[in-house]
Amino acid sequence: MKSEYYFKFEDLKIYQKAIDFGEGVNTQIISFPKEETYRLASQFIRAADSIANNIADGSGSTDAQFNRYLQTAWDCAHECVVCSTKARLRNFISNEQDEKNRGEIAELAKMIASFKTI
């Protein structure tokens, strides 16, 4: 959906990929058992959504502040690795889905690292 209101960070490919990853995680957690709603499912979606949130939050800041937000986004990406692994180990997602998640996370982490100015 195109909006008549424009925010510069929305043009960043890294932001767009982070948004897509978060939406993919949201689709995955729908099938998690009900008792996981406030446990692993909640942790996974919060970490995934935080990647895009931190990119957006820091985008209008100074380089030093943006780097701090990018570091937090990078940390959240790595937290998603743990969540995906635990979801696989608990049989909430397949090995193939975990591998897909890991590939997307690896790409995001590389993009975040290369985006940093320091």
pLDDT surpassing 60 at residue 118: no
Mean local confidence (pLDDT), 53-65: 92
Which residues span the domain enclosing 107? 11-115
CA angle 113, 115, 118 (to 5 degrees): 80
- pLDDT score of 116: 80
**Domains in the chain, number:** 1
Q: Which long-range contacts (CB under 8 A, 24 or more apart) does 57-60 make?
A: 59/8, 59/9, 59/12, 59/15, 60/8, 60/9
**pTM of this structure:** 0.93
Residue 4 within a domain: no
Residue 5 within a domain: no
59 token code pair:
């985008």
Residue 1 within a domain: no
- Residue-wise pLDDT tens digits, 99-116: 999 999 999 999 999 988
Q: Which amino acid is at 4?
A: E
Specify the CATH number for the domain of residue 27: 1.20.1440.60
